[in-house]
Amino acid sequence: MSRKRVDRRTFLRIAGASLGVGALYRVLPALAEGGEAKDVARSQVRAHGEAVTPFTFVQLSDTHVGFEGPPNPTGTRAFERAVEIVRGLKPIPDLVLFTGDLTHDSEKPGEAALRMRRFREIAGRIEGPTLHLVPGEHDAGLDGGKLYHEVFGDSSYSFDHRGIHFVALDNVSRAKPEVGPEQLAWLERDLARFEPTAPIVVFTHRPLFDLRPDWEWFTRDGDAVMRTLSRFENVTVLYGHIHREHTLVTPHVRHYAARSLIFAFPDPAGAGPKVPLPFDPERPFRGLGLRRVRTVPGNPPDAVGVSCEEIELSLAERSGTEGFQQLLRPSSL
């Protein structure tokens, strides 16, 4: 009996989309029907110790707790609304990954610690999912990550979840956009036990490729990181820093950026300067919307389709009382 061929590079599909307030990803084993699907699942267990099973997770980024200024005088409002939305997701996501710039830096004595505690208080309202963090330059650039480590713990680490190996990389604590030789050596050791078919998810703050080096949208030794990952057939990299949606797809790697929760930056392909998009009091969270991703049956049946709807956050005033509204509109993609 003939069986459909399974492309191992698409064994794991992460249906990811950037959210203005983060990104919701659904992990699905993209298996063909019939006996080969079971064969592939068994091979995953033999090679990696655990088969990939479906789950969802959320990416939030660049909350910049403590920032208030013309690009967004509403402070933590979008972050708090994002937390409400995550709390209401069904099914409940397994994980929430924060990809840096949790706080906005400050040289005022004691202020950075206060902002980190405020971040923890807001993020702590998310009940159910496990939270995992990496720092941004605003969290760790001034002191080499000392306070971040005291408050949040390690800035680079790894863990396994439902057949996926997750790697947190710190590309900000050296006061320059790089991972550094010590962390690169650790990454080599961490990945040594895995076969090339193992699905890997890396989450970090800055992009690991040269998106706009003149805007500091890059990592100096990002190429070295990607060389370490090059033997794997299915790698997903999640990052923040650029305050906007972005996707880059290469043969074995998919890079996804989540937008910011404070203000948006312009399109890097444009000719204008790197300045935050201006604040619009009629649409205070412009560029900070939410995209919810749902999987739908594809054609042929073993394919997985994706249906997206965007949830735009808006701040409304009613008789002097401020409230939030969710506005649904069709995806522009």
Residue-wise pLDDT for 222-272, tens only, equals 999 999 999 998 888 989 999 988 889 888 888 888 889 999 999 999 888
Report, as an integer, the average pLDDT of 279-288: 76
Report, as an integer, the average pLDDT of 84-101: 89
% pLDDT > 90, the chain: 46
Report, as an integer, the average pLDDT of 46-71: 82
Contacts of 6 (CB under 8 A, 6+ apart): 31, 32, 36, 37, 40
More confident residue, 313 or 175: 175
The answer to whether the CB of 265 falls within 8 A of the CB of 244 is yes
Residue 190 in tokens: 């961490």
% pLDDT > 70, the chain: 73
**Taking 50 as the threshold, does the pLDDT of residue 199 lie above it?**
yes
pLDDT for residue 112: 96
**Taking 70 as the threshold, does the pLDDT of residue 91 lie above it?**
yes
pLDDT confidence tier of residue 326, bands split at 50, 70 and 90 = very low
Quote the CA–CA distance of 307 and 292 in Å, as a whole number.
8
pLDDT for residue 46: 55
**CB atoms < 10 A from the CB of 218, how many?**
19
**Taking 90 as the threshold, does the pLDDT of residue 193 lie above it?**
yes
Residue 100 in tokens: 């840096």
**Taking 50 as the threshold, does the pLDDT of residue 292 lie above it?**
no
pLDDT confidence tier of residue 69, bands split at 50, 70 and 90 = confident
Quote the CA–CA distance of 258 and 60 in Å, as a whole number.
7
pLDDT for residue 256: 85
pLDDT confidence tier of residue 45, bands split at 50, 70 and 90 = low
Q: So what's the architecture of 8-330 in CATH?
A: 4-Layer Sandwich (3.60)
Lowest mean pLDDT among 13-17, 84-88, 192-196: 13-17
pLDDT for residue 325: 33
- Nearest to 332, CA basis, from 25, 81, 58, 17: 17
pLDDT for residue 313: 54
pLDDT for residue 48: 60
Residue 309 in tokens: 């709807």
**Taking 60 as the threshold, does the pLDDT of residue 33 lie above it?**
no
Q: How far is CA 153 from the centre of its chain?
A: 19
Give residue-wise pLDDT tens across range 123-135: 999 989 999 999 9
Instruction: Kindly report whether the peptide bond that precedes residue 300 is cis, defined as omega within 30 degrees of 0.
Output: yes
More confident residue, 75 or 4: 75
Rounded to the nearest integer, the mean pLDDT of the chain is 79
pLDDT for residue 16: 53
